[in-house]
Chain A
Amino acid sequence: MSDNLSSSLIKLEKVSLAFSGRIALSDVSFSVNRGEIVTLIGPNGAGKSTVMKIALGLLKPDKGEVYRLSDISIGYMPQKIIIDDNLPISVKDFLKLRPGSTYAQVEAVMDLVRIAHVGGSPVQRVSGGEMQRVLLARALLGAPDLIVLDEPVQGMDIVGQQEFYQLIRKIRREKNCGVLMISHDLHMVMEGTDKVICLNRHICCSGAPENIQDHPEYHALLSGKPEGITLYTHHHDHTHDSSGNVVPSRDDKDGQDHKRKHDHDG
């Protein structure tokens, strides 16, 4: 435990939990510091969501301690939200549910994650990718010190994922908040992750992304490279805005290097 407690937003120490006799987690310890991005990876059933719920205070561990810096504001982005069709609620009003938020703050955060154009739409009618950004917007309201994201890019295409991650990095940079992200993808973690924690009911290994690739436990968990899929790379000289219109690429430090140009005819 060499972490400096004063900079830890949240810290789990030797946390264990069993559900009706079955061990879900044993001896899990980690911390998230201000300005740090921590990604939690692991296969299905590894206890990622359980760890997250304990970190959020939704579940109490059987053993171990959870320290949360007092008075920190937490933004939580759940994996999925299913809202009954009979509840008519617009995106704006959904965001406004965050206690203490004003419409001005809601407008600002909608601009930040670029969903202003769906503000008046029923929450149930926005597309999957837009909904992820709506949920991110809700997590960002109330100026969070710590953002907890549960598989935020699931169902997004690669371009969407890149954009989303870019946004997270930007927010981390600007607000200096801590980020705890859960991912079921064992092969790819977000660029900019400071620490990867590889979980399978216990912490198999953890460390910087470049170090973890060489860790034997990580390879044991992965058991071989993915078969049947390969990577295809090409560059775009433009991106699309959220309505699908072509917009020129911004010169972003996180962005790709775009050299080729081509026209769209259709």
Chain B
Amino acid sequence: MMDDFILNAIMAGILVAIAAGPLGCFLVWRKMAYFGDTIAHSALMGVGLGIALGTGSPWIIMVTSALVSGALLLLQKGEKFSNDTLLGILAHSALSIGLIIIALQESLRQDLMFFLIGDILAIDAGGILDISIMSLAALGGLLYIWKPLLSITVHEDLAQVEGVNLLRTKIVYMLLIALLVAFAMKVIGALLITSLMIIPAAAARNISRGPLQMAFYSMIIGSIAVVMGIMMSSMWDLPAGPSIVLSAFILFLIGRALPNQLRM
């Protein structure tokens, strides 16, 4: 028999992974891996603000991340700096603000690690309900913007001429990532959530022949990584979050080593 907390952890992890994979595919296709990191870093600012306001609600994390991405959209209009420079400025400024606010709360200083790598083994039934709602909402939202977002990813001007609303589609996508990051905070933490988006998506590349298939495989690979990681963690008493990421990395390496015929 497996312990309840392990079952809960596996459920929570899989729920995060099935939303993270498909959202992560677009990060890979749009060469925006660093954007995921920026959202995750600004989520820590949200955590800090939440603590200062006396609430642990994920919504304040999501709103903070969304505001930082909104700032990014505004700065991009100026086009003075390249995208990754802007992301670097925003990510670390938000991170620093978050760390300062957290440091100002005397009682919480030693718990910083919790926000960085999460604590999947501490998820209870209530937590799982929250995460399932988030996961379904993120997947539903992504399905809704799937075609326009894919079209923008392929060619922005062409998509716009064909009537795709660029700004609305991009904002929805940013909000979905902010939603995922906010609710995945307890599960995998701000430091590791990007890897759960990027690595399964990258691992799925070699075995996929279409975008939808790649999104689907990334869900499966992410879920396998969750189960593997939690097993590793409980068997050898390792931290769960990093074990999940390490498992995903191993799956990625296996994918790379597959014979070439499978690649497209």
Contact = CB atoms under 8 A, between A and B. Distances in A.
B154 A89 contact: yes
Interface in B112-151: 147-148, 150-151
Contacts, number: 66
Contacts of A57: 160-161
Interface string A68-87: 00000010101001011011
B162 interface: yes
Contacts of B264: 88, 122
B162 A142 contact: yes
A211 to B, nearest CB: 32
Given A78-B155, A81-B154, A122-B264, A88 B214 contact: yes
Nearest to A76: B161
Contacts of A56: 157, 161
A138 B158 contact: yes
Contacts of B164: 99
Interface stretch (B58-66, B96-104, B172-180, B203-211): B203-211
Given A78-B157, A86-B205, A99 B214 contact: no
Interface in A93-121: 93-94, 97-99
B13 to A, nearest CB: 25
A90 B211 CA distance: 9
| Interface range, A side | 20 to 34
Given A56-B161, A58-B161, A90 B209 contact: yes
Contacts of B158: 76, 78, 81, 138
A9 to B, nearest CB: 14
Contacts of A87: 29, 153-154, 211
Looking at chain B, what size class is its interface with the partner chain? 20 to 34
Main DSSP-derived SS at the A contact region: loop
Contact of B154 (A58, A83, A86, A122): A83
Interface in B195-240: 202, 205, 208-211, 213-214
Nearest to A84: B29
Contacts of B157: 53, 56, 58, 76, 78
Given A88-B209, A88-B211, A74 B154 contact: no
Nearest to A150: B157
B152 to A, nearest CB: 10
Contact of A99 (B154, B163, B209, B210): B163
B242 to A, nearest CB: 25
B29 A97 contact: no
B31 interface: yes
B94 to A, nearest CB: 27
B161 A81 contact: no
A99 B147 contact: yes
Nearest to A97: B151
A88 B208 contact: yes
Contact of B202 (A86, A99, A138): A86
Nearest to A92: B210
Contact of B147 (A76, A94, A97, A148): A97
A66 B258 CA distance: 54
A230 B56 CA distance: 76
B208 A94 contact: no
B78 to A, nearest CB: 12
B31 A84 contact: yes
Interface in B15-30: 28-30
Given A56-B161, A76-B162, A98-B162, A88 B147 contact: no
Contacts of B163: 99
Nearest to B209: A88
Contacts of B162: 76, 98-99, 142
B232 to A, nearest CB: 28
B147 A81 contact: no
B167 to A, nearest CB: 13
B154 to A, nearest CB: 6
Q: Which 6 pairs show the lowest CB-CB distances between chains A and B?
A: A76-B161, A87-B29, A97-B151, A88-B208, A88-B264, A56-B161
Interface of A: 53, 56-58, 74, 76, 78, 81, 83-84, 86-90, 93-94, 97-99, 122, 138, 142, 148
Given A58-B157, A78-B157, A84-B29, 17 more contacts: A53-B157, A57-B160, A58-B161, A78-B158, A83-B154, A84-B31, A84-B153, A86-B28, A87-B29, A87-B154, A87-B211, A88-B208, A97-B159, A99-B147, A138-B158, A142-B162, A148-B161
16 contacts: A56-B157, A57-B160, A78-B158, A86-B29, A86-B205, A88-B208, A88-B213, A88-B264, A89-B154, A93-B210, A97-B147, A97-B151, A97-B154, A97-B159, A99-B148, A99-B163
